[in-house]
Amino acid sequence: MKTDARLPSWLTKPLSDPEETRLVRRTLASHRVNTVCEEARCPNRGDCFARGTATFMILGDRCTRDCRFCAVSHGEPRDVDAAEPDEVASAAAALGLDFVVVTSVTRDDLEDGGAEHFASTVRAIRRELPAAGVEVLVPDFRGSRESVDTVLWSEPEVYGHNVETVERLYGGVRYGADYGRSLDVLSAAAGSGALVKTALMLGLGETREELMRTLGDVRDAGAEIVYLGQYLRPSSAHHPVERFVPPEEFDEIRDECLSMGFAWASAGPFVRSSYRAQEALAAVEERRRAACGREQ
């Protein structure tokens, strides 16, 4: 029996039943909203849709950047749909979500990078689902502190910005981005008191030493939640996978993250920044409550 498959055995998922995901697909289609689950062809979308959840992607479906690891379409973006915040809120309500994750394509063509649209979306979700938690995963807004603040003022429960990889690889896989600028986004959000989250992909060619230095940098910048997953190549035109990281190595790295002081760390081959995102918030809030109890 052959065991030398193209992908290692730990990167196998069961072929999901389309019946289990039909409700979510129909709801998303009827509200004409985009999800990063579908646009990025996330390997977890079957699991998430079957659990009745999805991660919304706003500001259209075309990114103005062309990261070498990303499956989202890039090119000339369309006009921003002013009805999108309400449609996202309505779709989240139709799905009965009690935790809503919103991300976007990067819109370098917009003066504010889409920050006001992000904030409008958070506020629309608040109106529609007052009890729901909201997590945003924002682009770097080309370093605009004003745009970072615009989203902060909408008061999401979790403020996410992904550094994605180590500094050395930015030039090769993340055109238009800047490592220091991404750290600045994290520190600006953390400085305002937000619960800050970031994520990295492993297997793009980083060394363990570079990874640990990066984790130290994002922790120093104020990130309290970190997610680490295996980079998977969307197509042969994308950056190749340099290494498949075994599950036990992810476990080791997660433990190291916790010892570095992160309040929550998720690490595993299929971990993605918004996968089961609510679990992190719940755990961090529980820790904070426990810490308050000890101080009183």
Q: Give the shortest CB-175-to-another protein separation in angstroms.
A: 21
Q: Give the shortest CB-204-to-another protein separation in angstroms.
A: 14
Q: For the sheet containing 34-35, what is the strand order?
A: 34-35, 55-58, 99-104, 133-137, 158-160, 195-202, 225-230, 264-268
The residue within the footprint of another protein, chosen from 17, 111, 146, 252 (CB under 8 A), is 17
Coil, strand or helix at 104:
strand
Instruction: Please give the residues from 35 up to 94 whose contact with another protein meets the rule CB under 8 A.
Output: 41-43, 45-46, 49
Q: Give the shortest CB-237-to-another protein separation in angstroms.
A: 11
Taking the C-alpha atoms of residue 249 and residue 268, their distance in angstroms, rounded to an integer, is: 9
Which residue, 11 or 110, is less far from another protein as judged by CB?
A: 11
* Pattern 232-261, another protein, x by CB under 8 A: xxxxx-------------------------
Distances (CA, A) of 132 to 35, 55, 100, 251: 18, 14, 7, 31
CA dihedral in degrees (237, 243, 246, 247; nearest 10)? -50
Taking the C-alpha atoms of residue 234 and residue 34, their distance in angstroms, rounded to an integer, is: 18
Q: Give the shortest CB-7-to-another protein separation in angstroms.
A: 5
Q: Nearest-CA neighbor of 49 among 94, 91, 95?
A: 95
- Site for another protein contains 11 (CB under 8 A): yes
**Number of residues binding to another protein, judged by CB under 8 A:** 27
Q: Give the shortest CB-10-to-another protein separation in angstroms.
A: 10
| Residue numbers at the binding site for another protein (CB under 8 A) | 1-3, 5-7, 11-18, 21, 41-43, 45-46, 49, 232-236, 270
